[in-house]
Amino acid sequence: MKLSHTYLTQPHQLYKECKPTSVANPGLLGYNSQLGQELDISESWARSSTGLEFFAGNSMLEDYTSVATVYAGFQFGQYNPQLGDGRALLLGETQDSEGQVQELQLKGAGPTPYSRGGDGRSALGPVIREYLVSEAMHALGVPTTRALMALRTGDTVVRDRLQPGGILVRVAPSHIRFGSFQFAAARQDEEALKALLDLTFTRHYPHIEAAFKTPQDLLGLVIERTALLVAQWMSLGFIHGVMNTDNMSIGGLTLDYGPCAFQDDFSWQRVFSSIDTGGRYRYAQQPNIALWNLARLAEALLPIWPGKEDQKIVEAEALLHTFAPTFEAHRSALFAAKLGLDNSQSGYQNTIEPVLNFLEEHSLDFTLSFALIEASSKCDMKRLNLIRAALPEHAKLEKFWSTGSYEQGHWQKDVINPLIIPRNHQIEAAITSSEQGNDSKASTLFALYTSTPLVETLTAEDIRGPEPKEWLERTFCGT
């Protein structure tokens, strides 16, 4: 496969050339046909032994011009001056059907210069999780990295136990992170900072005029995209789980799906990540963390920010102050749409928070509760009956909504509230099955999460949260 490679023209201190390490017996677990078509990749080739060997890292070494990129990052508030692609390799880039450059990256293809003593591999479980959840997020309209392919390696990796290995083929306009700028700034490397600035505008903000391709303009753009992204997460009950600055995309994409999860029964303080013992990245805290991370990005941009030092800080702080009102506007609009309310006449605290508080008080499912309110308000009996079958506590929610003082009638024509989200217990069941050699559950979930099935074809089991005995309240990074 012929790929271009812009990184090979970038300052050498931003990457190191590195080849993938071969695996024992590559096998296809899942292939994203739609994305493959968008990238003009022959599906027959991708599924062939030649294609599998290439994406598994088993082709001739001269077939690869891959690199591992370097970045720093604040991890749970603690600065690490050098991280980098410890288990990822950037193969190169191609163009999609819209003319957008898209990078292809392997996750789990072997050790790199930034592996920090690790094996550079991935267990099959994290590969399946990201393959399913990232494409579900795309289907839900949330900016995200994409997943082209999930592979088995035929090898075993050692984590908390022996697990089968996997490789994910990830796709994004770039994999530049806040931490990429932090790495260069910590070294006072203006050459690297300017190169990252130029590449970011080219990949993520290509329509910006040359006069406005400045550090301060970039910060403003990233603030806007990040505010919208986090508002979208909140409107879906999504918890990223590890919002370190090295996991924040400069293009406003959802990046890295380690300990992420969607809420079932709603709680403001819900935490899933097994390593987030202090709840730093809990559901309600995500906007504050996003702003904190943006402040760290602003600091990293200051070395190439024009003007005197004190004036730079004033300008950066003024931009950072725009985050809260921007986020709140997006969040209010999204939740108002979910409840059929007129956003111009409803305040988030007065109209939406009481609904969320009611869900928490009665341990009601986040996704199905909003879907029930919409179906009930629209008298969509097919959808309503399905939700009632999946949500045993529906009566108390219907009574609460019908007796409330909400001005309804502003529903969009199309359904705004999804019936289907990636449920943690569904994903874990698919992972367990695939670890035992059966990929049918993963394939079924991929089809369920990435399409819009007719209500008539769905069952309560397809859409509901887990039974208490199946409840999984912890997720893991997989590193």
The answer on pLDDT for 469 being more than 60 is no
For 74, the domain range is 6-172
Percent of the chain with pLDDT over 70: 96
Q: Is position 367 within any domain?
A: no
**Residues with catalytic function:** 246
Q: Is position 25 within any domain?
A: yes
H/E stretch holding 51 reads: helix 49-56
pLDDT digits (tens, 9 = 90+) for 247-269: 999 999 999 998 899 999 999 99
Q: What is d(CA 22, CA 107) in angstroms, rounded to the nearest whole number?
A: 13
Q: What are phi and psi of 185, to 5 degrees?
A: -65, -40
Arithmetic mean of pLDDT, 22-51:
96
Q: Is position 120 within any domain?
A: yes
Q: What is d(CA 368, CA 157) in angstroms, rounded to the nearest whole number?
A: 37
Please tell me the least confidently modeled range out of 178-187, 290-299, 469-478.
469-478
* Residue 313 neighbours by CB distance under 10 Å: 15
DSSP β-ladder status, 101-107 and 162-172: antiparallel
pLDDT at 346: 57
Q: Among 270, 251, 300, which Cα is nearest to 81's? A: 300
Write out the DSSP string of 260-298: -EE-SB--TT---BTT-TT-TT-GGGHHHHHHHHHHHHH
Q: Is position 441 within any domain?
A: no
pLDDT at 478: 58
pTM of the full structure: 0.95
* CA torsion angle 128 131 135 136 (round to 10): 10
Arithmetic mean of pLDDT, 164-189:
97
Helices (H) and strands (E) in the chain, counts: 17, 12
Is residue 171 within 8 A of residue 88, CB to CB? The reply is: no
Q: Is position 240 within any domain?
A: no
Q: Quickly state the pLDDT bin for 409 (edges 50, 70, 90).
A: low
Q: Among 327, 368, 370, 325, which Cα is nearest to 352's? A: 370
In the chain, how many domains are there?
Answer: 1
The whole-chain average pLDDT of the chain stands at 93
pLDDT at 465: 72
- H-helix segments, 188-346: 190-204, 215-235, 286-301, 309-320, 323-339
Write out the DSSP string of 137-172: HHHTT--B-EEEEEEEEEEEEESSSEEEEEEEEEEE
Q: Is position 122 within any domain?
A: yes
* Residue 311 neighbours by CB distance under 10 Å: 11
**Strand-pair partners of 17:** 67
pLDDT digits (tens, 9 = 90+) for 362-399: 999 999 999 999 999 999 999 999 999 999 889 999 99
Q: What is d(CA 155, CA 164) in angstroms, rounded to the nearest whole number?
A: 6
Q: Is position 47 within any domain?
A: yes
Q: Is position 109 within any domain?
A: yes
